[in-house]
Amino acid sequence: MSETTRALNEAQRRAVHELLRVSPVADELGHRFARAGHELHLVGGSVRDALLGRLGDDLDFTTDARPEETLRLIDGWAEAVWTTGQEFGTIGLARRGLRIEVTTFRADAYDRVSRNPIVRFGDNLADDLRRRDFAVNAMAVSVPGHEFTDPYGGLSDLAEGVLRTPGRPEDSFADDPLRMLRAARFVSKLGFAVAPEVLAAMTAMAPDLGRITAERVRDEFVKLMCGQDPIAGLRLLVDTRLAEQFLPELAGLKLEIDEHAQHKDVYEHTLIVVRNAIAHEKEGPDFTLRMAALMHDIGKPNTKAVGPDGGVSFHHHEIVGARLTKQRMKALKFPKDVISDVAELVALHLRFYGYGRGEWTDSAVRRYVTDAGPLLDRLHALTRSDVTTRNRRKAAQLAADYDALEERIARIAAEEDLARVRPDLDGNAIMELLGVPPGPIVGRAWRYLKELRLERGPLDPDEAIAELLKWAEAEGVTPPGSR
């Protein structure tokens, strides 16, 4: 028995085990369709994941029944039903903790101008499988019979860890260019490689990604970044020039030499930082942290300068990088709060350097914490991840410095509640003491007192009042008792 055959047999054994785990629901649904004279097959990613031993709680089925018939067959059996995809043949339902989608066989056609198919329902499983993106997603298991269908060698590809298309990759990607980005996402998620002919087609057809809306590209990219190995997916994007179509700054880092460690370029440094950031995650994939790690040095190409001694510098690249991050993520239609968080982390990622020289006062620590706000834990992770030097002594010193900073933050926080730094007088007290109504004067006084709080720490009430009155006199604001 060959190694491949043994791997296939083991994959099938795992698949049966996974199918049996959900078979009470899958088989019940299959019997309902069979009694009505219809086929029902577990299909696509559900079969692939079952073969990999990681079938989740989202199951995809395909059937020859039309959507209206599917709705009739699940009536009274499904615990919840949603029909948002009905015009595309998809009916969603929930049963015993499983989310299930049943889609009518499709035999779509594409205009090859947009990625939107001309939706046509099919009448057989073979045509439905032929239109799918990759062979590993073009397998099916019938229910309740559990008959396995694999017309394009998906099981073999699964055993070899390779992505191939059911037909010619050029035809598949011409139909839907988003499949090229999906290939990179599966590389990240599954740890697979792409077949040589798929790689060649992706490289040649990369500009076709321009037909895809920013939102679709964004969604695939987020899934790639949150995969188990986004580094492999990112390398594939750069190597095929797909990255140039929606994230050109990433490939642009390849030519820039990192001033911290000149044995590698900023591109390689960036990928290491992303990998380091993943190691610092505490509760699963954190897109905001990973994206900040990816974008933290994108300002370097625009700020590179070579000094008289040949040394390379990138002054203020964090500020330029934060601006470029906002622009790029806005173009990809990311939510405003996500853009703001990632850009802020990029802007702050260098703030720590200089702490080890003993220059930071308690005031500087307070500002560090206050500026980071709810991003402080992510900023800790990003700053530590940015240390990629091979100089062990230097790396150990930076780690020790940051340990000291975190300990100092914890001490000051325990004393002063740094998580909620506020002026020692609130807006109502300011208005009462100054005898002014709500308005700009109150805002300016509040900001002054907050800066004072950051600089000196908590003030007692008499000190705070005295400082407010001193500020008011300088600003020409006359309190009631002074008139």
Cβ neighbours of residue 91 closer than 8 Å, sequence gap 6 or more? 67, 70, 71, 74, 81, 82, 83, 85, 101, 102, 103
Say if residue 348 is exposed, middle or buried (CB neighbours under 10 Å; 0-12, 13-18, 19+).
buried
- Contacts of 13-22 with CB under 8 Å at 24 or more apart are 14/50, 14/51, 14/52, 14/53, 15/47, 15/50, 15/51, 15/141, 16/146, 17/53, 18/49, 18/50, 18/53, 18/54, 18/55, 19/50, 19/55, 19/141, 19/146, 21/55, 22/55, 22/59, 22/98
The Cα 22–Cα 443 span in angstroms is: 60
Q: What is the mean pLDDT of residues 442-454?
A: 78
Residue at token pair 């298309």? 165
- By the 8 A CB rule, do 216 and 115 touch? yes
The Cα 443–Cα 464 span in angstroms is: 16
Two structure tokens written together for 109: 């056609």
pTM for the full predicted model: 0.80
**CA distances (Å), 245 to each of 46, 270, 338, in order?**
31, 19, 21
Angle between helices 317-331 and 336-348 (to 10 degrees): 160
Q: What are phi and psi of 305, to 5 degrees?
A: -140, 140
pLDDT at 86 over 50: yes
The Cα 271–Cα 8 span in angstroms is: 34
Peptide bond before residue 144 is cis, with ω within 30 degrees of 0: yes
pLDDT at residue 264, rounded to an integer? 52
In one letter, which amino acid is 339? I
283-292 pLDDT, tens digit per residue, is 899 999 999 9
The Cα 282–Cα 397 span in angstroms is: 24
pLDDT at residue 478, rounded to an integer? 74
The Cα 470–Cα 445 span in angstroms is: 11
221-269 pLDDT, tens digit per residue, is 999 999 999 999 999 999 999 999 999 999 888 865 545 544 458 899 9
The Cα 400–Cα 408 span in angstroms is: 12
| C-alpha dihedral sign at 35, 36, 39, 44 | negative
pLDDT at residue 403, rounded to an integer? 85
Q: How confident is the model at residue 422 (pLDDT cuts 50, 70, 90)?
A: low
pLDDT at 78 over 80: yes
Beta-strand relationship, 193-194 and 162-163: parallel
Residue at token pair 């029902």? 40
| SS3 track for 394-433 | HHHHHHHHHHHHHHHHHHHHHHHCHHHCCCCCCHHHHHHH
- By the 8 A CB rule, do 41 and 141 touch? yes
Residue at token pair 């050029």? 170
Two structure tokens written together for 221: 């990219």
Two structure tokens written together for 173: 């990607």
- Average pLDDT value over all residues in the chain: 86
Q: 80 vs 478, which has greater pLDDT?
A: 80
103-144 pLDDT, tens digit per residue, is 999 876 665 665 566 667 888 999 999 989 999 999 999 999
The Cα 478–Cα 255 span in angstroms is: 60
Provide the 10 A C-beta neighbour count for residue 176: 22
Give, as one character, the DSSP assignment of residue 477.
-
